[in-house]
Amino acid sequence: MIKDELRQWSLAAIIGIILALGINYFLFFICKIPSASMEPTIMTGNRLIATRVYNKDKIKNGEIVVFYSEEESELLIKRVIGISGDKIKIQDNGEVFVNDKKLEENYVLNNEEVGGEYTVPKDHFFFLGDNRARSFDSRKWNNPYIHKKDIKGKARIIIYPFSRIKIM
Looking from the CA of 23 toward its CB, the CA atoms found within 13 Å total 10
Q: What's the whole-number mean pLDDT along residues 125-151?
A: 95
Q: Active-site residue among 69, 78, 102, 140?
A: 78
Which domains does the chain carry? 2-167 (2.10.109.10)
Residue 50 confidence (pLDDT) above 90? yes
- 12-32 tens-digit pLDDT: 888 989 888 887 778 899 999
Catalytic residue status for 87: no
**Euclidean distance between the first and the last CA atom of the chain, given in angstroms as a whole number:** 50
Residue 159 confidence (pLDDT) above 80? yes
Q: What's the whole-number mean pLDDT along residues 99-128?
A: 91
Catalytic residue status for 84: no
Binned at pLDDT 50, 70 and 90, residue 151 comes out as very high
Binned at pLDDT 50, 70 and 90, residue 37 comes out as very high
Task: State the pLDDT at residue 129.
Answer: 95
Rg from Cα positions in the chain: 19
Q: What is the pTM of this model?
A: 0.87
> Which is more confidently placed, 4 or 73?
73
How far apart are the C-alpha atoms of 149 and 115, rounded to whole Å? 28
Q: Active-site residue among 37, 135, 138, 154?
A: 37
Mean pLDDT of the chain, nearest integer: 92
Task: State the pLDDT at residue 1.
Answer: 67
Backbone φ, ψ for residue 151 (5° rounding): -75, 130
- 72-111 tens-digit pLDDT: 899 999 999 999 999 999 998 889 999 999 999 988 877 7
How far apart are the C-alpha atoms of 35 and 91, rounded to whole Å? 25
Residue 2 confidence (pLDDT) above 80? no
CA distances, 108 to each of 38, 95, 112 (Å): 9, 10, 10
